Amino acid sequence: MNKKINIAIDGYSSCGKGTLAKELAQALGYVFIDSGAMYRAVTLHMMRLGVDVADEAAVERALEGVEVGFLNKGDQPAEVTLNGISVESEIRTIEVASKVSEVAKIDAVRTKMVALQQAIGLQKGVVMDGRDIGTVVFPDAELKIFMTASAAVRAQRRFAELIAKGDDVTLEEIASNLAHRDQIDANRENSPLTLTGDYRVLDNSELSREAQFSMALDWVNQAL
């Protein structure tokens, strides 16, 4: 089958978008792009420079020194780079998570990241996950999936992930970070997370990885 499509996966924080997106990309031989990693990389840059992320003008000025890209890892998912250097593990901390939604709501930040994302999508055969992929980045995506899961399940999953890495976090801290980000992401003025009628909804609170994958693959086959 030669036709290639773009697949948009949007949804709340930590509901398994990345896991599904990676699995689909691998099965289809598509490119996987984690758009959240790009906002996290911008946030890391601001933190390293000591920029107050509540100061939009300061963020906008510092944004000039930011080059976000991806490092191709062959058959492994690409790693996000900040000014040419992989920051894949540095961006997955609670400190970055506590600031990223403030940074991601700034117009100049979104304009710069969306332009990069759209350029990547031109080639087709891209699975991208985020908050505004189906609404703003690829409004013409042939398949749009909106993922969700209960707040308790999402917090537990992210907590387990960070603990396994050796991070010093509590379940309460994670749950409150997820709720805080969801609140900002769904209510900001610029491209809020919104469930429109174009999406297929996938609630994976009680679905195994295999079950969610096969459901999504059926949708892909219908879209092809």
For the bound state, the minimum distance from the C-beta of residue 44 to ligand CDP, rounded and expressed in Å, comes to 12
103 vs 221, beta carbon nearer ligand CDP: 103
1 vs 213, beta carbon nearer ligand CDP: 213
Q: Where are the beta strands (DSSP E) in the chain?
A: 6-11, 31-34, 68-73, 76-82, 85-86, 126-130, 143-148, 200-203
Residues within window 161-190 making contact with ligand CDP, judged by CB under 6 A: 181, 185
User: Which residue of 31, 32, 35, 112 would you call a contact of ligand CDP, by CB under 6 A?
Assistant: 35
Q: Can residue 132 be called a binding residue for ligand CDP (CB under 6 A)? A: yes
Place of tokens 């107050």: 52
For the bound state, the minimum distance from the C-beta of residue 3 to ligand CDP, rounded and expressed in Å, comes to 25
1 vs 122, beta carbon nearer ligand CDP: 122
Rounded Cα–Cα distance for residues 157 and 147 (Å): 15
Residues 139/146, Cβ–Cβ less than 8 Å: no
Integer angstrom CA distances of residue 65 from 60, 82, 174:
10, 10, 30
Q: If we measure between CA atoms, which residue out of 187, 132, 166 comes closest to residue 8?
A: 132
5 vs 101, beta carbon nearer ligand CDP: 101
Place of tokens 């000014």: 83
Q: Closest residue (Cβ) to ligand CDP?
A: 36
Q: Can residue 40 be called a binding residue for ligand CDP (CB under 6 A)? A: yes
6 vs 35, beta carbon nearer ligand CDP: 35
Rounded Cα–Cα distance for residues 1 and 31 (Å): 16
User: Which residue of 32, 130, 134, 216 would you call a contact of ligand CDP, by CB under 6 A?
Assistant: 130
For the bound state, the minimum distance from the C-beta of residue 38 to ligand CDP, rounded and expressed in Å, comes to 7
For the bound state, the minimum distance from the C-beta of residue 142 to ligand CDP, rounded and expressed in Å, comes to 18
How many CB atoms are located within 10 Å of the residue 198 CB? 13
Q: Can residue 13 be called a binding residue for ligand CDP (CB under 6 A)? A: yes
Residues within window 52-111 making contact with ligand CDP, judged by CB under 6 A: 100-101, 104
Burial environment of residue 73 by CB neighbours within 10 A (0 to 12, 13 to 18, 19 or more)? exposed
Q: Which residues of 170-184 are buried (b: 16+ CB within 10 A; e: fewer)?
A: eeebbbebbeebbee
User: What is the binding site for ligand CDP (CB under 6 A)?
Assistant: 13-14, 18, 35-37, 39-40, 100-101, 104, 130-133, 181, 185
